[in-house]
Amino acid sequence: MRYRQELILFLAIIASMSFQSCISPAPHTKPHHKVRIKQMKFVPDSITVNIGDSITFINKDVVSHDVTEEKSKKWTSKTLKRGETWSMIASEDVNYFCSLHVIMKGKIRIK
Amino acid sequence: MKKNQLKRKLRNVILILSLSLPITMLAQESPKLTDPEIAHVGVTANKIDIGYAEIAIKMSSNKDIITFAETMKRDHEGVIKQAVDLVTKLGVTPKENNVSSSMLKDAEEMKKKLKSKKGEDFDKSYINNEVAYHKAVIAAIRDILVPQSNNQELKDFLNAILPALETHLKHAEMVQEKVN
């Protein structure tokens, strides 16, 4: 009898937890954007995101590149070899470029 | 002033023609190149530009020239590594041939000319050479090496490096405008 009561209590707790997880909103995850670097271009070369969104640059090209803030070079990724990635958090409108191949340019715009 | 401009233009034309000759040999003589020979031509073209870049890094004091040359050295070394990985995977041994031998011979002449120059004269010669060289190599890859290649992966690799070469050309032209 006692074990039966304990089992019922245990099952009730489990059921309650399951119910809670169904109705509670999932923890908020920031959207994640990807920019591929290929054929000497940033693809897409312009993205519009929210403040705090994460942006990952992936080098899929045959040569190394970097991602550098264009106006005053206040931030830069390290040199990214083929296959390497670099992530940043969007905080403001910014133009960037590849300092190794100065004609390669891109933009981040905040919604 | 006009006489000097004319002299400069004529010098540039002669430079472009002398550089393009080994590459245009491909079109005029049109021996059918095998894949091992195409691989050797490709690697040679990259090695030649690395050689020019190393001279520029040593001899120039112009920031734009040095930055450009460092990019050429880095990029062409990277391309050679990937080319070697590819031919290893395909079991292809790059084979020396008349075209690549002629390219190397002419490159040695060009290197001697570059080393004989100084200051702004060197900078102009180097970057003018880079513009002409990249134009010639792009044309050779697009019009001769890719069509003649039998292996699809080799074709794809050659096509994949074309955008890099075109960007190099645009960068070279940008620097050429500043320097000239």
- B81 interface with A at CB cutoff 8 Å: no
Name the residue type at position B86.
L
Cβ neighbours of A15 (radius 10 Å): 10
Q: What is the pLDDT of residue A17?
A: 56
**Interchain contact, B79 vs A62, CB within 8 Å:** yes
A28 CA to chain B: closest CA distance, Å?
40
- B154 interface with A at CB cutoff 8 Å: no
Residues from chain A contacting residue B74 (CB–CB below 8 Å): 63-64, 100
Answer yes or no: is pLDDT of B26 > 70: no
- A62 interface with B at CB cutoff 8 Å: yes
Of B164, B170, B174, the CB nearest to A62: B164
Distances (CA, A) of B70 to A28, A35, A85, B73, B89: 45, 25, 22, 5, 29
To the nearest whole percent, how much of chain B has pLDDT over 70? 83
- Mean pLDDT is lowest, of A5-9, A88-92, B128-132, B171-175, for A5-9
Task: Kindly state the average pLDDT of the residues A41-54.
Answer: 97
d(CA A22, CA A12): 15
Q: What is the pLDDT of residue B14?
A: 42
To the nearest whole percent, how much of chain A has pLDDT over 70? 77
Distances (CA, A) of B142 to B39, B137, B152, B159: 14, 9, 14, 8
pLDDT tier at A11, thresholds 50, 70, 90: low
Of B74, B161, B167, the CB nearest to A64: B74
- A43 interface with B at CB cutoff 8 Å: no
Answer yes or no: is pLDDT of B92 > 90: yes
pLDDT tier at B124, thresholds 50, 70, 90: very high
Tell me the residue ranges of DSSP E strands in A1-111: 32-38, 41-43, 46-49, 54-59, 68-69, 85-89, 94-98, 101-110
- B84 interface with A at CB cutoff 8 Å: no
Residues from chain B contacting residue A40 (CB–CB below 8 Å): 163-164, 166-167
Answer yes or no: is pLDDT of B1 > 50: no
**Interchain contact, B78 vs A100, CB within 8 Å:** no
ipTM at complex level: 0.76
Answer yes or no: is pLDDT of A34 > 90: yes
Answer yes or no: is pLDDT of A109 > 80: yes
Name the residue type at position A59.
N
**Interchain contact, A103 vs B174, CB within 8 Å:** yes
A14 CA to chain B: closest CA distance, Å?
56
pLDDT tier at A35, thresholds 50, 70, 90: very high
Task: Kindly state the average pLDDT of the residues B116-121.
Answer: 96
